[in-house]
Amino acid sequence: MADTAAARTDVEQQTVVRTVDVRKIYRMGKVEVHALKGITLDIQVGEYISIMGPSGSGKTTLFNMVGALDKPSSGQVYIDEVDVAQLDAYELAWLRCRKIGYIFQTFNLIPVMSALENVTLPMTFAGLTTDEARDKGMDLLDQVGLAERYDHKPFELSGGQQQRVAIARAMANSPSIILADEPTGNLDLATGKEIIQLLGEMNAHQNVTIITATHDIKMLSASDRIIWVRDGTLAKIERREDLDIQVGSIEGDAEGGVEASLRGTEEDEQDAG
């Protein structure tokens, strides 16, 4: 048992994503917008990370960098110690297909495909046979509680059910990283809570690294660390145990509301201002 615990600790201390002085400049005519201004960050295997910050802070740009969806103007992004900027188009496609699963605020399901077909599509790109993909797809739909709706198309599913299908699709090729962009943004309070719980279960049981970009304060209670981005820089990185998170009540939902009283956050921001 001690050897197993030690082995798990070693795995959890491995770095899965690393950024070194990452900068991103967007040019709009003669105007330069410095979206990221030198971000250095390590994310460990099995962590649940929330990237938070106001609109225009650089939060989404950083999210795109660590998800290999964009390349920095300067600096390096390493995924499993591979410099993403050095990969060609084929290698990037392989990385995105095999290493990373993506979840989007708007679900991005293919309307003419059933839930099962949406989940198994990435498996087809990865080379699984039809039977292998179907068996794995049904297992994933069962994990997210939608096995009985495998033949339903997106328009026949609620928003929460569509996001569950999207989560199953993100897990299609057993990725080591899940990138979730505002996964609760289009959902009501109770459904958003269910999605956060589902992501937390996958993180805990399968040791998948979860990286979210979010405005949802409820995400704090599930996160190991919260990365606060402001004006293209890392404002602070806080661990969950350093936050005073209280479950409250919103519109009669005794469990759904979460109030986060961040120790020192308001004072720090006032001092910085």
pLDDT tens-place string over residues 39-63? 999 999 999 999 999 888 999 999 9
**216, 219, 220 from 200: Cα distances, Å:** 15, 10, 11
135-154 burial, b at 16+ Cβ within 10 Å, e below that, comes to ebbbebbebbebbebbebbb
pLDDT in tens, 182-201: 898 888 888 888 899 999 99
Class of domain 49-69+88-263: alpha beta
pLDDT value of residue 79: 94
Closest residue by Cα to residue 36 from 53, 17, 16: 53
CB 181 within 8 A of CB 63: yes
Q: Which long-range contacts (CB under 8 A, 24 or more apart) does 78-84 make?
A: 78/15, 78/17, 78/18, 78/19, 78/20, 79/16, 79/17, 79/177, 80/16, 80/176, 81/15, 81/18
Read off the DSSP letter of residue 133.
H
Q: Residue 230's CB: how many other CB atoms inside 10 A?
A: 17
pLDDT value of residue 259: 44
Residues in Cβ contact with 228 at an 8 Å cutoff, skipping those fewer than 6 apart: 52, 53, 234, 235, 236, 237, 238
The C-alpha atoms of residue 230 and residue 265 are separated, in whole angstroms, by 13
The C-alpha atoms of residue 158 and residue 187 are separated, in whole angstroms, by 10
pLDDT in tens, 82-96: 999 999 999 999 999
The C-alpha atoms of residue 59 and residue 137 are separated, in whole angstroms, by 32
User: Would you place residue 245 in the very low, low, confident or very high pLDDT band (cuts 50, 70, 90)?
Assistant: low
pLDDT value of residue 51: 94
At 203, list the tokens.
Answer: 């993180």
Give the 3-state secondary structure of residue 112: coil
